[in-house]
């Protein structure tokens, strides 16, 4: 599955960046900033979510 990656321990983990990339491609957007405009959120929110950072 494209939204999962295998960790070094062999477990499957969720990859939100892959999900964002798929949405960006499907909607013919250029980048995360375009996605943030569509979702009506600040661009850093998308970036932080894609890199597994806390958004609080």
8 A C-beta contact, residue 16 and residue 23: no
- Model pTM score: 0.67
How many other CB atoms sit within 10 Å of the CB of residue 15? 16
What would the pLDDT profile of 4-56 be if each residue is shown by its tens digit? Answer: 555 556 666 778 888 999 999 999 999 999 999 999 999 999 888 887 654 55
Task: List the domain boundaries for the chain.
Answer: 16-56
Q: Which are the contacts of 21, defined by CB distance < 8 A and separation ≥ 6?
A: none
Looking at residue 1, what is its pLDDT?
A: 44
Q: Is the pLDDT of residue 2 over 60?
A: no
């Amino acid at each position: 599955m494209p939204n999962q990656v295998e960790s070094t321990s062999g477990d499957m983990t969720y990859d939100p960046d892959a999900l964002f990339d798929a949405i960006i491609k499907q909607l013919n957007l250029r980048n995360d900033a375009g996605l943030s405009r569509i979702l009506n959120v600040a661009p850093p929110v998308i970036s932080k979510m894609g890199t597994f950072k806390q958004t609080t």
